[in-house]
Chain A
Amino acid sequence: MTQEHGTPSRRLKFEIFRYNPEDENSEPHSDVFEIDETPFMSLYIALNKIRELHDPGLQFDFACRSAICGSCGMVVNGRPALACRTLTSDLPEDIQLYPLPAFKLIGDLSVDTGTWFRGMGERTEAWIHERQAFDPEAEEERMSDDIAAAIYEGDRCIECGCCVASCGVANLDDEFLAGAGMNRVARFMMDPRDTRSEAEWFDVVAGDRGVFGCLGMMACADVCPKELPLLEVYAYLRRKTLGARFAARHEKKGSA
């Protein structure tokens, strides 16, 4: 092996946000826990250790523990990140963990991202809008591999919510679509199977809860664990909506 993974002598100090809304006596505060670092230690390993050794009541979420399910977003030393893929060797000895802001707190480090994403899906009607019913006998409709790859790129978001939590606008407005939402919209716009016209997209995309709510703070793109090109998506959508606006004007004039 070429690198040393963590100095075994390090003792890590975790400052973790605590609050249990179901407990009347609970007040938001932070607790400090200390554990020894081990090689390849991720925050998934560390948090489980803390739960098993120090405080079995500590709440946090993990599922796949391999950076694909998006369950484990939390604020690590000021930055929203996936805990399961964050190695302690990338962090200083003092580690602060806070729940993702912008989402409803469930307890300690656990937040409700599911409701947010379902709401976003409903508002953007994030499904293929198609006229015909599925015909089980028919051969699949053809699509070029390049388009498929481009759509797949947009599909790679794991809905971890890091982009939402890092965005100042999304923190103040629950319904701002944020990076993940805009990425989703772009994914369906790009899909030739979706028959929605640009005009049908307009009120979802333009407007203060869509692209024009974005202040260009760029945090979303910096924290996205899948390194999705969120800023490119924003720029593309901005131009598209502006174009659609002009086109609509033009049409109106033409018909009047």
Chain B
Amino acid sequence: MRNSQTSAMAAARRELAYEVISGGSGLLLALFMWGHVVLVGSILTGERGFDWMATMLEDYYIAQPTVFVIFTLFLVHAVFAARKIPSQLRERKQILQLAKGLSQSGREKVVTRTEYSPFRPHVESLLWIWQVRTGMIMLVLGSFHLVLLGIDIFTPLYGDIAGIEASTSTARVSAGLWLPYAVLLLCVEFHASVGLYRLAIKWGADLWLSRKTMHRLEQVIFWVVLVLGGVTLIVLAGWMDPPLAFLLDGTST
């Protein structure tokens, strides 16, 4: 009796810790990704801005440890979050079917529906499934990207200077990496904004904003960041001139 109680207690403590780890790592990653958008977005001001930023981060030894930390967080988050993904195909199908049904109900056009219809649209279950899917895609593409950047930072590959450089970036993006980047971008922004929304509800549904407002906010953040990242990617691919280049026009070369 005592034994089973203490073991239940221990299990509960462990599970609490797992939850904090997966939520916390997700939160940190999401916050990092906002910073990432700004950093990579420096390309919008032209190659010079980008290089200046990259060089600074490397010179002050910010980039090097960050890559490690982020990669670790990334893997830790993946491991602890994936714990919640049902292991059996049958179970996954069951959840999927449930989520689909829920998200479709209440959307049919009904001429006679009263204003008090109890059917409120529900999407969050399906969003969770997409979080899993995007997470899986990120695991592959993100790891690849991080390895690539790791190599960039620590060894010279294309150019003669070690580190991140606009020319190498644009070169590989325009050479075809834009496609996986586009996928990764979509996945990460979706996953992060939905994840933050979920995190906010999970820990503070009763504290801050109403759920409706949070959901709205989530959508706004998603689109803003997605557009920013999208433009960045287009510029990196060389299909558009840096739109903010005029900001640095005054400075001398």
Chain A residues engaging chain B, CB cutoff 8 angstroms:
3-7, 10, 75-79, 81, 85-87, 89-92, 101, 166, 168, 171-172, 202-203, 205-208, 210, 212-219, 221-223, 225, 229, 231-236, 238-239, 241-242, 245
Contact = CB atoms under 8 A, between A and B. Distances in A.
A79 B18 CA distance: 31
Nearest to A208: B15
Given A85-B118, A225-B118, A219 B102 contact: yes
Contacts of B19: 212
B9 A203 contact: yes
B202 A214 contact: yes
A90 B117 contact: yes
Interface of B: 5, 8-9, 11-13, 15-16, 18-20, 84, 86, 91, 94-95, 98-102, 104-106, 108-114, 117-120, 122, 124-125, 128, 198-199, 201-207, 211
Nearest to B127: A217
29 contacts: A7-B111, A7-B112, A10-B112, A78-B104, A81-B119, A85-B118, A86-B118, A89-B112, A168-B98, A171-B98, A172-B95, A202-B13, A203-B11, A205-B12, A206-B16, A207-B8, A210-B12, A216-B198, A217-B99, A219-B125, A232-B206, A234-B202, A234-B205, A235-B206, A235-B207, A238-B202, A238-B203, A239-B204, A245-B13
A229 B117 CA distance: 19
A7 B112 CA distance: 7
A10 to B, nearest CB: 8
Contacts of A215: 84, 128, 198
Given A219-B122, A245-B13, A245-B16, A77 B205 contact: no
Contacts of B198: 215-216
Contacts of B110: 89-92
A242 B20 contact: yes
Contacts of A235: 201-207
Contacts of B106: 77, 79
B113 to A, nearest CB: 5
Contact of A168 (B105, B128, B211): B128
